Structure 1
Amino acid sequence: MARASSSILTFLRQNPHARQKPDTQIRHLSVETKDCSDLTQVAQQICHVIRTKPRWENTLSSEYPSSNFSDPLFIREVVKQQSNVFLSVRFFLWLGTREGFSPDPISCNAVFGALVEGNACSAAKSFIKHTGFSPEPVLLESYARCLWEAGRVKEASSVFKRLKEAGVCPGIGTWNAALSGCIKARRTDMVWKLYQEMMEYGVAADVETVECLVRGYCDDNEVLKGYGLLSQVLGDGVVPGKAVFDRLISELCKEKEYDKVSELLHAMIEVKCAPDNYTYLGVINWLCKNEKLAEGFRIFNDLKDRGYAPDFVMYTTMIHGLCTMGSIGEARKLWFEMIDKGFCPNEYTYNTMIHGFNQSGELEQAWILCKEMGGKGFRPPK
């Protein structure tokens, strides 16, 4: 995804903070594992005992007298084989009650890693506090990602800081989790700060990074910047997910930037990220609300011509718009078309049509619908 990074750098070139830090020392992480196959069988047996016996703490030592429960590799193998992370913690706490047991880094990292993998952020935090150990960097990065995803921005920032102070460069997945977590927490100020740091570390942005930045622009009410960034990366062949297009289209509608909305709809089709009923419904709804009924009706008919099947909500939205603008004849056609497609009018749809008939002076038609509405159990308008 080098092209994504190139596009973003070009787009944000005017940002004075978006510069590389040439002398930053970066250390990327890798996970080192050791073979514990010689301990696996016994570890599996002990895990079975822990899962099936309510008070296994009272008998485990006597059942396995030859096992060295203080061996870090043995402890790690038990944690690895145990399918329940909290049973692993219970096993570790039991070890703490044994005379002469002293928690070692290997064992602590094994339990801590299981907690992080299980997204048990609070338990992982308590485990660090209880044992006083320092997780190895690869687990600390996973812990930071877990905190970001849980929306615990302040704690995640603290862990992130520890990583960077240790000279560790988090992977792109962790940076994206940080950006996304800040957006969920409505901390777009941190989004731009983190992205600046990400570029300083020389981490190449990917499509998920682009999605986060576009969402950040929308949240900051800078939708045109989001549109500019998306247009630029699309030109480089980077295609974000449909949710980003939908969000940007919705925000552009609010700004009445309908030309750009049209461009994005065509772009979605070109990059094979086709807009669906949800996408078009939002556009039609905004057009109808802002007295651009003809454009909304054109899009609605184009959808049908291209094989889309409007749903009940889209029919109701279009009927309401037509009635509001006094086009009762077109509204009546859609009313019967909707029924022919198997959609039954609800109370809102009836009220919309009745109001439209009243406004256009067709009182007899309004009265017919009132009686029909009452016969279906709906309360007619007063």
Structure 2
Amino acid sequence: MFKILSTKSLNICIASLCRVKNLKKAEAVLIDGIRVGILPDVVTYNTLIDGYCRFFGIDSGYSVLDRMKEAGLNPDVITYNTLLSCASRYRLLSRSFDLFDEMIEVGILPDVWSYNILMHCFFKLGKPDEAYKVFKDIFLRNITPAPATFNIMITGLCKNRYIDNALMLLRNLQRNGFRPELVTYNILIDGLCKSGRWRSAKGLLKEMLDFGHTPNAITYTIVMKCSFKNRMFEEGLEIFLEMKAKGYTFDGFAYCTVAGALLRTGRIKDANECMGNMFRSGIDLDMVCYNTLINLYCKEGKLDDAYNLLDEVEKMGFECDKYTHTILIDGLCKAGNVKGAQRHLKNMNMMGSGTNLVAFNCFIDGLCKLGQVDYAMQVFESLKVKDEFTYSSMVQGLCRVGRFHLAAKLLLSSIKSGMRILRSDKKAVIRCLRSSGFCDEAKKLQSKIRLAKLLYY
């Protein structure tokens, strides 16, 4: 009895050390335990394998297997599942197959978690068809699936943009007696929101409530983010207030999401109050929070305060990311400081993160609003990648300076590039042509737009 308890204590001690990445000390504790007669068991070595896999990779974890066998202990299904999890984490599909084969060779039958891990690996590699084969194999081998099996399958389908298949799977499972958990609904609602299917997400939310599930902080956050994404700011803020009323705690990301939405609607005072609440709640600030604060200062026109905060952030060991530079580019352009904005664009290029289209869109928009349309056009033409907002900034800028014909050409070229033009851009160009006496050209442009949409969309 003493030995069993001592081995248990040894395992707890090793697990604690592995959790804090102190593998050397864990190994020393193991040696000391053996020296005083406390023999390790399979759990001891499984704990070490998990620690090495988590922090040093699969080869380090696999090397513990030999020591395990030398100690006269045989690996079990948990041993191999730990190694499979590591292989899946690093997307090592061939290694996962090798581990599966090895399990069977040594007489260990894979359990439901072995299949869950393999299925998850296929999804991570963007192979949903292969993952579905593994899912079917679970039933063919008469293995009882766990609720996590269905959640992994539904999550994988959603992340690979097979949202309809995920919904069909849910309905098939329900017909066979499966009662979805709250987490299942959260996964599907998140998938629907990300694919822009707000009405379907609301329908599923209602179904979840009808089944007696109480939404948690994750549910609220998903729906709140979706509301803001779909520019339903009032609905998003209502959800935020409902969460507060129900006593849910917020992380920095939730506060920043709300503050960002308030800034986009010009509600700077409310955004200030939101960030003040975040400070008072004692949340540890990360770069996302600092970026939101810098954005707030820029929106208020307090560029000096933004740069002072930036200095403090750098002193604390944080580094500017592409979002920081983008926020400052936008703020500097609005303040008429083109040279300052150029400097940040160069800094972004030096970061080696590739062309940040959002930053260039802000720069082009700023140049156009400052009347520097020719320079904006040079930047526009230098970009290899453009989106509808790049074209929109340029079209609106050209309309402001009366260059309607060039704006019309640009509008048509965006459609021919397969992009959906913004309705406001089309209206602006046609209105300007008509007001300048080019009514026939405005009619021709409308016809050309309709034809281009048929050909290129």
- TM-score, normalised with respect to structure 2: 0.44
Q: Which amino acid aligns with 1:332?
A: K
Structure 2: tracts of 5 or more residues without a match: 4-27, 53-57, 283-288, 311-327, 336-457
Q: Within 2, Cα distance between the matches of 1:193 and 1:319?
A: 44
**Aligned equivalents of 2:33, 2:178: Cα separation in 1:** 57
Q: CA deviation at 1:210?
A: 0.6
Structure 2 residue corresponding to 1:274, chosen from 215, 223, 230? 215
Offset of residue 274 of structure 1 = 2.9
Q: CA deviation at 1:281?
A: 3.3
Aligned-pair CA distance for 1:310: 5.5
Amino acid in the other structure paired with 2:85:
E
Matched, 1:209 2:149: yes
CA gap of 1:246–1:272, structure 2 versus 1, over 3 A, is closer
Q: Deviations over 1:70-115 (max 9, x none)?
A: xxxxxxxx9xx523x8xxxxxxxxxxxxxxxxxxxxxxxx8xx975
The structure with more helix, counted as a fraction of residues:
2
CA 153–332 in structure 1, closer or farther in 2 if over 3 Å, else same:
same
Residue 145 (structure 1) aligned to one of 43, 59, 81 = 81
> Is residue 332 from structure 1 mapped to residue 269 from structure 2 by the alignment?
yes
Q: Post-superposition shift, 1:343?
A: 6.2
Indicate whether 1:318 and 2:258 are aligned. Answer: yes
Please say which structure displays the higher CA radius of gyration: 1
For residues 126-153 of structure 1, what are the alpha-carbon distances to aligned partners after superposition, in whole Å with 9 as ceiling and x for unaligned?
Answer: 68899x99x99x8474554233112153
Cα deviations by residue, 1:300-337 (Å, 9 ceiling, x for unpaired)? 344345444666544443343244235x4xx5346446
- Runs of 5+ consecutive residues of structure 1 not aligned to the other structure: 1-36, 38-47, 57-77, 86-109, 356-365
1:250 paired with 2:194, answer no
Structure 1 residues 197 and 162: CA distance shift in structure 2, 3 A: farther
Query: Which secondary structure does the structure 2 equivalent of 1:150 belong to?
Result: helix
Cα pair distance change 1:178/1:204, threshold 3 Å: same
Whole-Å Cα distance in 2 between the matches of residues 169 and 317 of structure 1? 46
Which residue of structure 2 lines up, in the alignment, with residue 95 of structure 1?
Answer: none
- Aligned identity (percent) is 16
**Matches of 1:129 and 1:334 in 2, distance apart?**
58
**Contact residue 224 and residue 239 of structure 2 kept, 8 A:** yes
CA distance in 2, matches of 1:124, 1:321: 45
Q: How is 1:107-146 mapped onto 2 (pairs within 5 angstroms)?
A: 115=45, 118-119=48-49, 122=59, 139=75, 141-146=77-82
Moved more, 281-290 or 211-220: 281-290
Q: 1:232 to 1:335 in 2, by over 3 A?
A: farther
Match of 1:348 among 279, 287, 292: 292
SS where residue 157 of structure 2 aligns? helix
State the one-letter code of the partner of 2:86. A
Inter-CA distance 352–205: structure 2 relative to 1 (3 Å threshold): same
Q: Give the direction of change, closer, same or farther, for the CA distance of 1:139–1:280 in structure 2 (3 Å limit).
A: same
Greater relative contact order (CA < 8 Å, ≥ 6 in sequence): 1
RMSD: 5.1
| Structure 2 counterpart of 1:156 | 96
Residues 1-382 of structure 1 aligned to structure 2 (within 5 Å) = 51=31, 81-83=38-40, 115=45, 118-119=48-49, 122=59, 139=75, 141-151=77-87, 152-161=92-101, 170-184=110-124, 187-230=127-170, 233=173, 236=177, 238-240=179-181, 242=183, 244-266=184-206, 270-272=211-213, 274-276=215-217, 278-308=218-248, 313-326=253-266, 328=267, 332-333=269-270, 335-336=272-273, 339=276, 342=280, 348-349=292-293, 351-352=295-296, 355=299, 366=300, 370=302, 374=305, 377-378=308-309, 382=335
